[in-house]
Structure 1
Amino acid sequence: MSIQEDNLDDVISSLIDVDEEEETGTASSGIDPFQKDELTGAPVVLTERAARQIEKIKQEEGLESNLYLRVAVDGGGCSGLSYKLGLDHRTDEDKVFESHGVEIIVAPKHLMYLEGMHIDYPDGLDARGFTFDNPNATENCGCGTSFAI
Structure 2
Amino acid sequence: MLSDSAADRVRKFLANRGKGFGVRLGVKTTGCSGLSYVLEFVDGINEEEDAVFNDKGVNVIIDKKSLVYLDGTELDFVREGLNEGFKFNNPNVKGECGCGESFTV
> Do both proteins adopt the same fold according to a TM-score greater than 0.5, normalized to the shorter chain?
yes
Corresponding pairs, count: 103
**Partner letter of residue 61 of structure 2?**
I
Report the Cα offset of residue 140 of structure 1. 2.5
Report the Cα offset of residue 68 of structure 1. 2.0
Paired-residue identity, %: 39
Equivalent residue for 2:22?
Answer: 68
CA distance in 2, matches of 1:113, 1:132: 12
Equivalent residue for 2:74?
Answer: 118
Unaligned segments of structure 1, at least 5 residues: 1-44
TM-score (norm 1): 0.62
CA distance in 2, matches of 1:140, 1:86: 22
Question: Which of 123-132 and 139-148 deviates more?
Answer: 139-148
Pairing partner for 1:85 from 36, 39, 43: 39
Q: Larger relative contact order (C-alpha < 8 A, sep ≥ 6)?
A: 2
**Partner letter of residue 10 of structure 2?**
I
Where has structure 1 moved over 4 Å in runs of 4 or more? Answer: 142-145
1:31-56 deviation per Cα after TM superposition (whole angstroms, max 9, x unaligned): xxxxxxxxxxxxxx010000111111
Q: CA RMSD in A?
A: 1.8
CA distance in 1, matches of 2:18, 2:39: 18
TM-score (norm 2): 0.85
CA distance in 2, matches of 1:142, 1:120: 21
CA distance in 1, matches of 2:12, 2:102: 25
3-state SS, counterpart of residue 122 of structure 1: strand
Pairing partner for 1:103 from 59, 68, 80: 59
3-state SS, counterpart of residue 50 of structure 1: helix
Report the Cα offset of residue 100 of structure 1. 1.3
Check the 8 A contact 1:131/1:144 in 2, yes or no.
Answer: no
Report the Cα offset of residue 77 of structure 1. 2.4
CA distance in 2, matches of 1:146, 1:120: 17
**Partner letter of residue 113 of structure 1?**
Y
> More helix per residue: 1 or 2?
1
CA distance in 1, matches of 2:27, 2:101: 10
Quickly say closer, same or farther: Cα 1:145–1:116, change in 2 above 3 A. farther
Higher Rg: 1
Unaligned segments of structure 2, at least 5 residues: none
